[in-house]
Chain A
């Protein structure tokens, strides 16, 4: 594939790196695990096979060699002006143009190819992390390559899967965070009684939230490990959700932790779209 329009941020991602947090290397990996997995299922690929993660569409590319692709996530995709269904392996021929549109809902779209995209790997994963000097985002003129595909395997795995985790006004469940009990009752109540939105000042390292100020306890913490999905509160009262490329250790109090089953939906929320939090009791 030759990239014509690279989009805002298109990077190869897989399920990320593990066992490296002790060096300060975050897991990275896909923001929507379910969509990524559905792409690889449709193509008969292993789930750790890298897919192209696309932020807010606006991507186009030309096919240089006949192959099979699958797409799941935000937006719509067309091959030469013909809309293709998500979650099903699609044949794409040399010379055809693939376009992925700007989505009205959701942020991330996943494009996979039979046998997987090839490319460099860092410490056991192909997940790109430009801020950590691990690869670059795609630019116009880049070529995405893949191995040779086995058509018989693909046709067996083709299945209808397109239920992506995009919800209107979702409820995101939270566990208590390590400093939960140090926040005032009023601060905790504010978290659950308010309407929240994702700030445009967000990225793969963390989403800042727009909403009321949460009173931060006046403690100068000794920096401690942070779990992905933690909700930290800055001294001025802004909530930030720590995500895939985020810090492994941090010094701001963490009031809560996003429930793992709601993380994909949370990470697919566009800036401005509204949601609520609910305290999850096991």
Chain B
């Protein structure tokens, strides 16, 4: 074992791998929603698609964790950490930046501004200045979890989630930002609205989603 492998093996053990009931593992592969986590998740997706573990029924990946769901009686007793061994990952190709036009001014723009000790205009300026990356799709179809939110805009989720949020709502939840693709319940702070359609169930799977993992995104105020 080379020195770098020993270091990585030690780091791996700091991450938490959780046996999530009898049929699933929740593996942690990074400590923060950063660039390293993004590259790891791309490599893990690549492995899951090319050589899925035996009996794997479904998988879901987020910023720093991946959930592996197995058929009944197929869940391995030991965490399948070989998926996290990143020897093979290569730098992904940079993609074009996708533009999401936003009418800023949602229900919680003031709440975010007050929490962050800045004006609403400053919130808009910071939010629309960054280039985000799609780290994960989840929660609802086409809901893209974006990485790269300016640390000055981090705002806690609502203590009680709203029972219905309109489709196209642009929101901040903790250190994350996203667009709600469909009317769903949700606990994030609403700061704007876009007319860009994020999910279309009437077309094939390959074109149903405006954003996919790995995309770069920028919000433009209108």
When the two chains form their complex, are residues A227 and B22 in contact, meaning their CB atoms are under 8 A apart?
Answer: no
Give Cα distance in the complex from A163 to B205, angstroms.
Answer: 39
Complex Cα distance A130/B20, Å?
A: 29
A24 touching B64, Cβ below 8 Å:
no
Q: B22 touches which one: A25, A236, A282 (CB < 8 A)?
A: A282
Q: Hey, what's the 0/1 contact readout for A223-235 against B, CB within 8 Å counting as 1?
A: 1111101000011
Give residues of chain A (247-263) contacting chain B, Cβ–Cβ below 8 Å.
Answer: 247-252, 257, 259-260
A201 partner residues in chain B, CB cutoff 8 A: 163
Give, as a whole number of angstroms, the nearest-CB distance from A273 to chain B: 22
Contact segment of B1-9, B93-101, B113-121, B173-181: B173-181
User: A21-B138, A257-B21 are known contacts. Are A220 and B175 too (CB-CB below 8 A)?
Assistant: yes
- Out of B18, B140, B160, which one reaches A24, CB within 8 Å? B140
Asked if A134 CB lies within 8 Å of chain B CBs, one says: yes
Q: Give A14 Cβ to nearest chain B Cβ, in Å.
A: 16
* Given A22-B59, A132-B140, A251-B187: A227 touches B160 (CB 8 Å cut-off): no
Q: Nearest chain B CB to A169's CB is how many angstroms away?
A: 24
A223 and B161 within 8 A (CB): no
- With a cutoff of 8 Å between Cβ atoms, the chain B residues found around residue A19 in the complex are 57-58
Which of A23, A238, A259 is the one whose CB lies under 8 Å from B142?
A23
Measured CB to CB, the closest approach of chain B to A125, in angstroms, equals: 12
B201/A234 in contact, CB under 8 A = no
Closest beta carbon of chain A to B106's beta carbon, Å: 18
Interface of B is mostly: loop
Residue interface bits A15-32, CB-to-B below 8 A is 1, else 0: 000111111110100000
User: Contact at B69–A248, with CB atoms within 8 Å?
Assistant: no
Query: What is the total number of residues of chain B having a CB less than 8 Å from a CB of chain A?
Result: 55
Interface size class of A (residues with CB under 8 A): 35 or more
Q: How far is the CB of A155 from chain B (nearest CB, A)?
A: 32
B contact residues around A259 at 8 Å (CB): 21
Note all chain B residues with C-beta closer than 8 A to A151.
none
How far apart are B32's CB and chain A's nearest CB, in angstroms? Answer: 7
Q: Among the listed A18, A224, A257, which residue makes an inter-chain contact with B62, where contact means beta carbons less than 8 Å apart?
A: A224
Least CB separation from A124: chain B residue: B205
**B62, A25: Cβ atoms closer than 8 Å:** no
With A22-B137, A23-B142 in contact, do A225 and B26 touch (Cβ < 8 Å)?
yes
Contacts A19-B57, A24-B140 known; 5 new A-B pairs at CB < 8 A: A22-B61, A205-B185, A225-B66, A229-B21, A234-B161
Closest 4 CB pairs of A and B: A249-B138, A225-B67, A225-B60, A235-B159
Residue numbers of B with Cβ under 8 A of A are: 18, 20-24, 26, 32-33, 45, 57-67, 69, 136-143, 145, 154, 156-157, 159-161, 163, 173-176, 181-185, 187, 199-202, 205, 208-209
Which of A's residues lie within 8 Å of B, judged by CB?
18-25, 27, 122-123, 131-134, 175, 177-178, 201, 205-206, 220-227, 229, 234-236, 238, 247-252, 257, 259-260, 282
In the assembled complex, 10 residue pairs joining A and B whose CB atoms fall closer than 8 Å, in A order, are A22-B58, A132-B182, A175-B20, A178-B18, A222-B175, A223-B62, A235-B160, A236-B160, A249-B136, A257-B21
